[in-house]
Amino acid sequence: MISFDRQNIIKDLSIKTDSKIVLLVMDGVGDLPNEEGKTPLKAANKPIMDSLAKESELGQSIAVFQGITPGSGPGHLSLFGYDPLKYQIGRGILEALGLDVEVGPKDVVARANFATIKNGVIIDRRAGRPASEESKKIVELLSEKIKQIDDVKITFYPGKEHRFVVKFSGEGLFDEVSDADPQKEGHPMEWAKSLNPDSEKMAKIANKLLKEIGEVLKDQPKMNFALLRGFSKHPKLPTFKEIYKLDAAAIATYPMYRGLAKLVGMQIIKTGETIEDEIETLKANWNKYDFFFVHVKKTDSYGEDGNFNEKVKVIENTDRVLKDILALKPDVLIITGDHSTPAPMKSHSWHPVPVLINSKFVRKGLSNVFDEFECARGVLGTISALDLLPLALAHAGKLEKYGA
């Protein structure tokens, strides 16, 4: 695990060079075998990844520590070299920053999900995954009907599919509040609770808001309620540029991942909705930056839906665009995920995440294909995800020697 002191050592050793690094994150790519003994990664027809595996070092990573199931926030912070045990970031601020929401010192933000509730029980935490345009209309309805709770101003911001952001603006608001979300379907609604006396006001406001949302949306067929997660204020982190001397860019279609990148000081590059759009954006900006974070979301979405076949298709589509990434001749290419999202579990899990590192300095020829089984046997072994950024810097010639 990288501690704050080790991060400072990296800061002292990192140097600016012309070499380029691409971090390709297939969100939730890790999985478990089905009845045929295959994961989506093993079942996928991915000739480029498999060929690349022969020329790369494979391994697997742990985002927090063994047995801990990470959220996307901790998973990505680890990939970016920030200890998630030190930097505990609420999901709300990540989603808000990704939507370019201005978050002031008196504000608390929360990530919201439209949900379906019946007789006090949450039966669908994502309200059937509505189209973004459909959910935007409901956000506009909420904005029209709900503007203030007690003395706190309420502002709604539409996001992707079932997601949106709520900003609470007022005096005496603190973010030590539990999620208003039972986390699983078929469970009664779990209301927000204050985690210390200072946050009692915030918890009460959040619960009042949810009841008003339920009243406004009671006649909606699916989006008839909402859940609130990741209450947070704006934290301060050392930037990517400060620590790693990298001019870093983020290419991601979903707000939360743009928010994570923005939080550590990456430049957010506007892109389209598909992986092909993202790669065109990468190509168009190749000469402007020396580090690129490229995010693929749907591997995670289909894992959460338990949709093995669609997860396979996302992996295959990502493989097809790899030829365009390789044509740019990055000095270092890392392919990995932020956590595993096994389709049989329909959720994030604690299982190690496949890792591939390619550069001209790898110990190649020890692996045959890129999947969970080969990665478990790979030369890298099982490492902390916190080690990936230092390894990328080392392979790119961006770290000086430590000591005499």
Q: Is 295 helix (H, G, I), strand (E, B) or coil?
A: strand
Instruction: Give the residue from 380, 280, 302 showing the smallest Cα distance to 58.
Output: 380
Euclidean distance between CA atoms 157 and 109, whole angstroms: 11
Identify the structural domains of the chain with CATH numbers, from first to last. 4-88+237-395 (3.40.720.10), 94-232 (3.30.70)
Euclidean distance between CA atoms 70 and 28, whole angstroms: 11
DSSP string, 55-81: TSEEEEEESSSTT----HHHHHHHHTT
**Over its length of 404 residues, how does the chain's per-residue pLDDT go in tens digits?**
444 578 889 999 999 999 999 999 999 999 999 999 999 999 999 999 999 999 999 999 999 999 999 999 899 999 999 999 988 888 888 888 888 898 988 999 999 999 999 999 999 999 999 999 999 999 999 999 999 999 999 999 999 899 999 999 999 999 999 999 999 999 999 999 999 999 999 999 999 999 999 999 999 999 999 999 999 998 888 999 999 999 999 999 998 899 889 989 999 999 999 999 999 999 999 999 999 999 999 999 999 999 999 999 999 999 999 999 999 999 999 999 999 999 999 999 999 999 999 999 999 878 899 999 999 999 999 999 999 999 999 999 999 999 87
Residue 137 main-chain phi, psi, to 5 deg: -65, -35
